[in-house]
Amino acid sequence: MKRHLLIIAMLAMAVCAFAWTGRSIYTQIVLENLDILDYISNEAWPNLGDGQHDPNWYFEVSCPEIGETGSTETHPRNRIKVGKFQVGGASQPMRAWAFFDCQVFSPLGPSAGKEIHMKLRYLPTGDEANFATRIRTLPSGVGPVLDYEGSAPPMQWVLPDALVGTPAPPQINFTVRSNYVGAAIRKDGADTGETTPWTFIGPTAEVAGVYTVVRDATTFVVQGTTDTSYNYDGAADATVTFIGTYTPAIAAGNPYPANGANFEIAHDAEASNYDLTWEAPIAGDVDGYKVIWNGGAPVDVGSNLTWQTPAIAEGTYTWMVIPYFNDPLPPAPAPGGKTTGFTREFAPLQAKLIAPQIKGDAVNTPTWSFTVTRQDPPVLPVELSNFSAVLTAENFVKLSWRTQSETGMLGYRVYRGESDVQASSMMLPVLIPANNTSNVIDYTWVDSEVEVQHTYWYWLEAVEVNGTGQFYGPLTVRVEGEIPSVLPTITTMGNAYPNPFKQSSSTTIDVSIKEGENGTVTVYNILGQIVKTFKVNEGEHQINWNGKDARGNNCGSGIYFYKLSTPSTNMTKKMVIVK
C-alpha cells in the first residue's frame, strides 16, 4: 500500500512540474488615429486583476504548440477580458488593455517561450471578417507581462481604425429652457419651429449657433446675465435658461377722484385721508397694482382697487396706478446628471429661487391729480387771545381765557372729556355770559368735580346769540394727589397657608384690623405656652411665621395654635408643623 501511494505522489509532482502557471499577460491596444477610449464603454478597472469585460469586444488567444484556444466567450473575466486601467496610479493616462491569464490553457507545461496567437474584434461593426491579430512569444520568468507604449521597446498593439468602422459624428444635446413655457426658439435669427423647453440633438455643425427666445410683450435675457442671446459653440452637451419679463401694455382707468378734481374744505378743517379708487384693466393678465403717490416710492397694494392717502390738507397732489404682472420662476434643473459631456448652467446653479419674481409693469400709465382748497375763515364775533388751564391747591381745575373784543355773543360753554376726542366730551352744565364789549375781558371758571390721579381734556365753546358756536382747545390737565386708603370695616383673621408646613419653610396668616383698633397675633404650642407674638394695628396685614420661637430656635413638629386678640375680636385657629 505504501508503495502505491509513493508512485501516485511522484506522478502528481511530475504533472505539476509541467502545468501552466498563473501568469497575467497585459497588452495595451491603440488605434492608428482614433482614440480607443471612445470605444471602451465599461468602467475603469480598480486594479489590473479586477474589473469587468467590455461586451463590445471579442478577444481570443491560442497556443498552436499545445492546440489550446480560449476567448471572452468561453472563459470568465478573471481569465480573459478587454477594458481600461491607469497603470501607475491616477496621475497616469488611462489606457485600453487586452488581458489574459495563462491558466486559460490546460495544464500542459510552463508558459515561458510559448508562442501565443491573439485575435481581437469590435462587435458593434457586425463584420466577423474584420479582426486584428498579433503573435507574442512569452518571455522567460513567471511574473506578469505588460506590453505597452512606454515599455522598452514599445510593445503596444496598434489596431487599424477600420477595425471599429467609420465613426459617426458625435451627437450633441443642447437644451433651451425659459421661465415662460412655450416661448418660441430662434436660431441665427430664424424660427426653429420649437418652443421651450426643447432639446436639440445632432452633430456640432447642426446645433451650434446663436439662440434667442421670443414671446409677445416679453423681454428675455440669459439667466444670470444681461445678454439677450446665447452663442452656442456645439462643443459639448449644454443647457441654457432664458428669463423673461412680461410687460402688459395696459393701464388702470376711471380714477376717483377724477383727474383734475377739486375738494373744498372748511377754513378750520384738519388734515384728513382720502380714498383713491380705480377700475381694473379691461384686457390683460394683471397680478396686482403699485401706487405712486405724489412722486414718491411705489407702494405695492396687491390686488386691491383702492388706496388711502396720508392725512392731507390744502394743496395739489398727483398719483399713478401701475398694474404689474409676476413673471414665473425659472425652471428647476433636471434631477440627476449625464454620464458624459457636461451641463452648462448659469447662476444660480441650484433650484433655490425664493426671492420675489421680476415684476413687469404696465406701460402708458397716466398721471392723475386733484386739488384741495381751504375756504376763507369767517369774520368772528369774538377774538380770543388766551385759553389756559391750571391746577389749584385744592386739586381743582381752573380755566382762564381772555377776549380782545366781543360782538353779538351769548356766552361760553366748557366741555370736559377723558380723551382728546372732542366728540366724546361732556358739556358741563354752565353758561358763562359774555360781556359784549370792545375792551379786553378776562374770564375764569373752576371745575371742582374732578378726581385725583385722573387726566382731563377741556374745550371752550364761544356761542353766538344765533346759537352758532366755535370751539377752542383742547387743554390737558393731570389732577395729582393721593388716593385715601380704605380701612377694613371688621376685624378678622384668615387661615394659615400652607397648613401643614415643613420645619424648613414658613406659613402666612392674613389679618384685617378695623379702623381705630390694634392687637396681637400669638402662636401657642399644644401645652399653651407662648411661642411667638406679632403686634398688629388698623389695616390689612400678612403675617409670615418661619416656624421659630421668639429666641430664633426652630420649633419641633406638632400641633400649634394662633390667636388674634383685639378689643372687638378674639379668634383662635390651629396649624401643624411637619418634618
DSSP letter, residue 331: P
Cβ count near 492 (within 10 Å): 14
CA distance 63 to 73: 17
pLDDT of 520 reads 95
The band of 395, judged by pLDDT with boundaries at 50, 70 and 90, is: confident
Q: Are 547 and 554 in contact (CB under 8 A)?
A: yes
Average pLDDT over residues 90-117: 87
pLDDT of 271 reads 92
- Those residues whose C-beta lies under 8 Å from the C-beta of residue 437, and which sit 6 or more positions away, are 405, 406
- Which of residues 297 and 341 earns the better pLDDT score? 297
Q: What is the mean pLDDT of the chain?
A: 86
Instruction: Tell whether the model's pLDDT for residue 165 goes beyond 70.
Output: yes
pLDDT, tens only, 182-224 = 999 999 999 999 999 999 999 898 999 999 999 998 999 999 9
Q: Are 120 and 152 in contact (CB under 8 A)?
A: no
Instruction: Tell whether the model's pLDDT for residue 275 goes beyond 90.
Output: yes
Q: Are 99 and 23 in contact (CB under 8 A)?
A: no
Distance linking the first and last C-alpha atoms of the chain? 98
pLDDT, tens only, 303-349 = 899 999 999 999 999 999 999 888 888 887 655 433 333 333 333 33
CA distance 465 to 437: 14
pLDDT of 326 reads 86
Least confident residue range of 81-85, 377-381, 512-516, 573-577: 377-381
Amino acid at 124: P
Cis bond upstream, residue 378 (ω within 30): no
pLDDT of 152 reads 85
pLDDT of 90 reads 78
- Which of residues 49 and 104 earns the better pLDDT score? 104
> What pTM was computed for the model?
0.40
> Nearest CA to 230 among 251, 209, 199?
209
Q: Are 131 and 121 in contact (CB under 8 A)?
A: yes
Average pLDDT over residues 65-69: 91
pLDDT of 346 reads 36
> Which residue is listed with cell 488567444?
61
Q: With pLDDT > 90 as the criterion, what percentage of the chain qualifies?
A: 51
pLDDT, tens only, 454-505 = 899 999 899 988 888 888 888 899 888 666 667 888 999 999 999 999 988 9
Looking only at the bridges linking them, the beta strands covering 359-361 and 115-122 are unpaired
Q: Where are the alpha helices (DSSP H) in 84-164?
A: none
- Burial degree of 521 (CB within 10 A; 0-12, 13-18, 19+): buried
Instruction: Tell whether the model's pLDDT for residue 4 goes beyond 50.
Output: no
Looking only at the bridges linking them, the beta strands covering 24-31 and 157-159 are parallel
pLDDT of 167 reads 65
- Those residues whose C-beta lies under 8 Å from the C-beta of residue 354, and which sit 6 or more positions away, are none
Average pLDDT over residues 278-284: 79
